Every structure is written in structure tokens, then in C-alpha cells.
Structure 1
Amino acid sequence: MTRRLPRALAVLALLLAGAAALVWWLNVRGEPDLAAAAPDAPATPAQVARGAYLARAGNCAACHTSRGGAAYAGGTPIPTPFGTVYGSNLTPDAEHGLGRWTATEFWRAMHHGRSRDGRLLVPAFPYTSFTEVTRADADALFAYLRSLPPVPQPNRPHELRWPYNQQAALAVWRALYFRPGEYQSDPAQDAEWNRGAYLVRGLGHCAACHTTRNAWGASSERLPLSGGLIPMQNWYAPALTSVREASVADWPLDDVVALLQTGVSPRGWVTGPMAEVVLRSTQHLTREDLAAMGRYLQGLPQQPAPESQPRPAPGTETATLGSRLYEHHCAQCHGDAGEGAGGVYPPLAGNRAVTMASTVNLVQVVLQGGFAPATAGNPRPYGMPPFVLALSDREISAVLTYVRSAWGNDAPAVSELDVNQLRTTTAR
């Protein structure tokens, strides 16, 4: 027995050493040799302009510009289930920003998720998507950021709980869930489709919201863009692969472009986090790029529609209360029969945002209000006021249950518990 123990410990030590070596290799594979990198070439005006466009496409300012702060100077809090991450300073300040960085170091951060000093970056910075960005585009983005005025604003340390604040834990996460890899064109598709795929999967990082995450914060590779709850924001990013949610497979391409460019279209409206994406990012893209994104999204494999199940009708008391509340608070804009109003107020009859399985967004809009972005193509959007103080959990439950079962809609009831959970978590 005493002889077996040292052997067992030795075997265990070897296994641990082997596992550590594997994790190390998975974290450094393919990284560039910084010592052998060529010196940076001077940036051209065309490269800087290209980088400015790409920064809009990637919505970089959303995480790297704090409210009321200097552009790209960092400090934006990004809440996650593991603690708060803060956007870093991307201005060319020598001490706190990118002033001492090289283009190769910046590309390594985008492509491999590693900072200039060798630290592994937390994946709240979506290098899991940005890894698909080409070196030329990364260089252009770097050239643009280096052209900005330097801002001497220190980076705020992340406030992550243990063990999520440990580099070793992050290395294991990356070994399990991150694979660096530049976008490879699909030869079976044309140039427009491939351009759309590159933007959606890379700089657009649509999967960061529209894909379900596991308990460790990793996106599902098996079901990309199949919908997911946005952590900490309490909004549901609907599936882009389901006609019952947010698929555009059967939309005219012009309607897809209009939605991404203005926030409104004959087939739908955006609100919540997607309204910010349209405001800060997609409205600034060319029509050609938006059409390419639309082509790619239209071609996504579609989930089979589940068989419809008979729904129990809401109780008489709930139906009566819901109908009365709808008539008093909603009908003036959305119509007596949920038909909407002339492209200004969306219809509720047959609206998949109303009837899809997740009721998170529906409850959030009633609680917090619904506001489309003020874009160049729709500078004065109409909005919906919040009812968080006007209606109780029971009343919101009743009116939404009514809307989800009226005018041909056939969706399950919204419970008071659903409303209460969102009311209390959103108020924190």
C-alpha cells in the first residue's frame, strides 16, 4: 500500500503536467512571433477611413466609450454573470491606451484574445467572433484608433469574482471553448453572401447575443444564432433561424436592409438592445454591406417549426381584465383589433414578437417602454411609454395574456411570476 501511493501521486502529477501543457499549447497555438514582425508601415488616409467604417461595423464605441466620456477612452461597465468588466482605453495614449502597441500586437488581441503584455483577455471582448477578422481589416481598425486624440484615462480594473479573475481559469475556458481562425470564404457561395457571412460572424459579432450561452458563458457552436437570453440585460435576442422568432428567410431583401438601416420596416421594428445596435452601428453601413448581411441571414438553416398545441383559453376574469386594460391603455395606438397604425405603431395581431415562446421582451417593453432608434432614415420615431409604475404584475400579466390570445394569436399565458421576476431584476 505504501509503495502504491508514491506511484499514484507520480501518475497524477504527470497527468496534471500533461493537462497543463495541453492547455498552454491550446492557448498559444498560431500566435504570431512578435520579435519577427515587420515594423509598422505608416497609415494611409484611405486605411484610416476604412478603419473608421469598420469601427462602426463592430460597434466598438458601445463598450469602449463611457456615457459622457471621451470617444474610445474606455471605462464603460459591462455587467456579466461573473462580475463587471470595464471597456479599455483604445485611444493612442502611451500609458493607458494603444500608444505603445504595434499593429501585430493589436491583431493578436483581435485574433487570439491576448493583450500586449501577454495577459489573456476576458471574452466579454468578443474575440471569439473577432478572430474571423482579416489582418488587413485589423490593421485598418488599428490605424483609425491610432489617429484619435490620446486621452490619458487609466483603465479601470475588472471586478470579477474568484476564480473567474484568475488567468489560469481563463486559460482553461479558452482551451475548451475558443478556437482562433480567420474567416474562410465558402466557394459554393457568391461574393455578396460571403461578405455578409464575414460581417455577421466577425465584426458584427451577432452570435454574442443571438446564441444561447452555457453556464460558463460560452456560446453554443451547435446552435449558432438560434436565440438566447442576453446575460444581465434581461432581454431575449430572438432566433435568427426560426420563422416564429426573428428569421428573415421569407422577407424581401429591401425590408431587411430597411430594418438594419432605419430600425423600422414593413415587416418589423427594433427596440431594446437591438435599437442601440442599429443606432450606433448598422445605420452607418453601406447599403451593399447591409444587403450582403441580409443575404447571409436569409440563407441560414431554419429550425423546423414545432407542432402547434391546443392552448387553454385564459380564464374569464383574466380575459375580462386584459380586454379592459387593452382598451384603456393600448387600443388608441395599436388599434381595436391589434391592427397597428399606418407603419407608425406596430400591429399586435399576427406579430411574432408577441406570440413567440419567450415573453421576456414583451414584458420588458410594457415595463420599460419600447423605443425605436432615432436614425437618419427615421429621425423622429414613435415610442411606447413605460407602464412599470402604472400597472401591477397582475394587470400586466392579464393584458399580455389577452394580446397573446386575441385576433387569431395563439400563444400561452404570461404569468404574474414572469412579470415580477423581470420587474425586480431590472430594477436592481
Structure 2
Amino acid sequence: MKKTLYAVVGLLITVVALILAAWLWTPADDSGPPPAATADLAPAQRIARGAYLARAGDCMACHTVRGGAQYAGGRVIRTAFGDIVTPNITPDVATGIGNWSADDFWRALHHGKGKDGRLLYPAFPYTSYTHLTRDDADALYAWMRSVPAVRQRSAPHSLRFPYNQQWALAAWRTLYFRPGVYRVDTAQSLDWNRGAYLVQGLGHCSACHSPRNGLGAEGASLSGGMLDGPGWYAPELTFGAGSGKPAWSQDDLAAFLKTGVAPQATASGPMAEVVRASLQHLNDADVNAIAHYLRSLPAAAPAAPYRRDANPQADAFLAAGARLYRQHCVECHGENGGGQAPHYPPLAGNRALGQAPAVNAIRIVLNGGFAPATAGNPRPYGMPPFGHVLTDIEVAQLVSYLRSAWGNNAAPVTANEINRYRAVPLDQ
């Protein structure tokens, strides 16, 4: 028995040693050209450029607690491995990053390492930020140095063993992270490359819109992923033709990103916040570049058609949902689910209703759907919540009907699924 235990321990030590060795001897990447463009800007221009990039990266979303000082940290990010608390990134010397150099800042973005050399957790999306150019990193640094310093000490993370160990993080990085700035694809246009740079880098879209494995590493990029903490599903970012879903036009997709509304859909949940706090502030050229890039991505394979049960019980379940639709929804969304774009989105052919899991449709019925207030849509229409009006079984009947009507063809949902998300707070 002891020999077996010693053998297992020895094997584990050997594996860890090999992983650490592989990480230590991984060659450093070429960090790209020196930051000439940012260095040539006047200080005010450099700060303005950094402010724009901070909006594009939505840095405030993680580093500002609701009602708290900007960039002072303290927001708790709940993960499957425990809680991560975002740090203070104001220029306070004692509790923020006031004693960080531009090189220290670059090292955090590009290599995922703190000033003291400690490895950072990938809840800070350096796996995407590594693609930033040094010019943009230096502009961001200039902006962060200009914001008001806040004396607020960062709270420690609360992660389970072994996820709270640096050696475990080193092993994770060996498997899943390689630093590298974005390289221009010369076969593509300037707009395509700009969109790819923003989506893959500063926008860190894959952090939400990609699946994750059991160790939290991203899977197929932009193919959709569940946000465990918030309890929403970030759908696949396929907007071109060929996926079994109607293609979006360039103008419609750009409008959705900039204003939160389009003829096909309205931004809700976490995406509404991204549009409000980040995307609406991008210039038209960058918004169009993102839309151009997203429309060029390979289409996802069409989902296998759902084979609906042909039995009286299933038919009665959907018929009850149809009655609830006529009672509560038809005035805005119409008899045929066509909606009244852009304020009342269509339900016929709506991408959110065909998703698996059906969590987004469930949460909107329970908690309401609220588009962001943006410069392009300053007085958005909202959908009222029905969680206080409908029981779990009634919400299940209604959502199941919506997923089966007007050409939609997705699996029904159960009352247990409704009850699960009824208990998830909206602000998580």
C-alpha cells in the first residue's frame, strides 16, 4: 500500500516538474515593433487615446464596483474554482498600480504577470490582451496614470486548492497560454484586420462567447459559452450566411453593436451592459470593422432538427403556452411573432429562441428584457418581467411554445429549468 502511495506521489511530482520545466523553457515571443506611434503623441493625445481604448476594452466593468470609485477594484468574479476579487488599478502608490512602470503594465497585459512576477489569474483576460500592440498598451498606461488615485486595498481571492497555488497556475499556462501580439493577415483587408484585432484582443469577446473546459480554458473560439456566474448564455458569433440562420447585413450588425437594437434582435442581459458601457463609444469605423470581421467568420453547422413528441400531453403543453402568448405577448410581438422592429424584436426566427441552453429566453421572460440606453437609442423600450405573474410551469409552457412556433424548432423546457434560473439574481 505504501509503495503504491509513494509511486503515485512520485508520479505527480514528476508531472509537475515536467510542466514547470516546459513553462520555464518556453521561448519568449517577439513583442512586436517598438511603441513609436504612442511615444510621438503629445501627453493629452496619448491619454485621450488610452481613454478610448479603455472604453473599447470595458475595463471599468470588472474594476469598478457598482456605486464605487472608478477602477478601484473590489468586484467579485464567481468562478467554478472560487471567487476572484478584481484589484485596484488606479495610480495610488500604496494600494493601486501607482508604482508600476509602462513595462510592468505591458508585462501584465502581454504576459499575464504582475509587477512582482507573480502569475495572474486568467479571469483577467490576458489570454486576449496579449494580442495588443505595445503602442496601445502604452496609451492605456498613460490613461490609467491620469485617473484619480483611490486608496483602497485589494481584497484577497478565495480560491480552492490547488487553484490558489502558483505552480498550478504555471501548469495551466503551459497547457493553454502563449503570449503573442496580433499579426496582420495580409490576405485580408484593413477593415477585416482592424475588426479581428479588436475582437481577439482588447474586446476579449472570446472570454464570454467561447466554451470552457473543466480547467476554465477556452474551447472553440466564439462558438458560444455559458456564463456560469451571471447565468446567461453568450451565443456563437456567427452572422454570415450558411449556418442555418438568416444572415445579418453589415448595417444591421453595426447598428446592433452601436445602439443595442436591430431589426433582428435587442441586446439584453450582459450584452446590453457591454453595448452601453463600451461598444456605443467606439467610432463608426471600428464598429463597422468589428461587424465586417464577425460576418466573415465560418458559419456554425446547423443544429440537428428537433423531433417533437407527437402525443396529447406534449400538444396540450404547447397549446397552454400559445394561450399564455396571446394573453401576455401578442400585443407587442404580433400574432405571427413578427414583432415591431426595432423596439419589439421578432420572435419568428429569433436566434435566442433556438439556443441550447434556453437560459436567455427563460431569464427574459422571468426578469424582463431591457435594451441599453445609448446615444443612438436614448429611450429604449423594455419588456416587463413576468416572473411574478407566471408560475414555473406556465413559464415553461410559454418558452416552449416560443421555441416551437413560426418556424422555430428547439426542444421544450421544463419547470425545473425555470425554477433554477428564477433563483439567480440579475446582477450576478
TM-based fold match above 0.5: yes
Amino acid at match of 1:377: G
Distance 2:368 2:396 in 1: 16
Mean Cα deviation higher: 250-259 or 50-59: 250-259
Residues 47 and 407 of structure 1: is their aligned pair in 2 closer, same or farther, counting only changes over 3 Å? same
The one-character-per-residue Cα deviations of 1:328-347 (angstroms, maximum 9, x if unpaired) are 21112212222212422112
Identity score, percent = 52
Amino acid at match of 1:267: Q
Q: 2:267 aligns with which of 270, 277, 282?
A: 270
Does the 8 Å contact 2:239/2:295 carry over to 1? no
The one-character-per-residue Cα deviations of 1:391-421 (angstroms, maximum 9, x if unpaired) are 1111011111122222333222112222122
Residue 79 of structure 1 aligns to a residue whose secondary structure is strand
- Post-superposition offset of 1:115: 0.4
Residues 307 and 70 of structure 1: is their aligned pair in 2 closer, same or farther, counting only changes over 3 Å? closer
Partner of 1:115: 114
Partner of 2:73: 74
Partner of 1:189: 188
Partner of 1:61: 60
Partner of 1:25: 25
The one-character-per-residue Cα deviations of 1:26-82 (angstroms, maximum 9, x if unpaired) are 4x84599xxxx9xx9797111110000000000000011111111111111111111
Amino acid at match of 1:285: L
Does the 8 Å contact 2:20/2:170 carry over to 1? no
Residues 339 and 132 of structure 1: is their aligned pair in 2 closer, same or farther, counting only changes over 3 Å? same
- Post-superposition offset of 1:25: 3.1
Q: Give 5+ residue unaligned stretches, structure 2.
A: 1-5
Does the 8 Å contact 1:240/1:246 carry over to 2? no
Residue 62 of structure 2 aligns to a residue whose secondary structure is helix
Partner of 2:290: 293
Partner of 1:3: none
Distance 2:306 2:145 in 1: 57
Distance 2:243 2:271 in 1: 12
**Is 2:176 aligned against 1:180?**
no
Residue 202 of structure 2 aligns to a residue whose secondary structure is coil
Does the 8 Å contact 1:368/1:387 carry over to 2? yes
Does the 8 Å contact 1:210/1:228 carry over to 2? yes
- Post-superposition offset of 1:155: 1.0
Distance 1:355 1:231 in 2: 20
Distance 1:12 1:140 in 2: 44
Distance 2:7 2:161 in 1: 33
Does the 8 Å contact 2:261/2:343 carry over to 1? no
- Post-superposition offset of 1:18: 4.2
> 5 Å matches for 1:336-375?
336-375=335-374
Residues 139 and 321 of structure 1: is their aligned pair in 2 closer, same or farther, counting only changes over 3 Å? same
Partner of 1:161: 160
Distance 1:126 1:7 in 2: 37
Does the 8 Å contact 1:370/1:384 carry over to 2? yes
Residues 16 and 127 of structure 1: is their aligned pair in 2 closer, same or farther, counting only changes over 3 Å? closer
- Post-superposition offset of 1:360: 1.1
Amino acid at match of 1:96: T
Does the 8 Å contact 1:238/1:246 carry over to 2? no
- Post-superposition offset of 1:387: 1.9
Query: How many residues were matched structurally?
Result: 414
TM-score by length of 1: 0.90
Does the 8 Å contact 2:244/2:301 carry over to 1? no
Q: Give 5+ residue unaligned stretches, structure 1.
A: 1-5
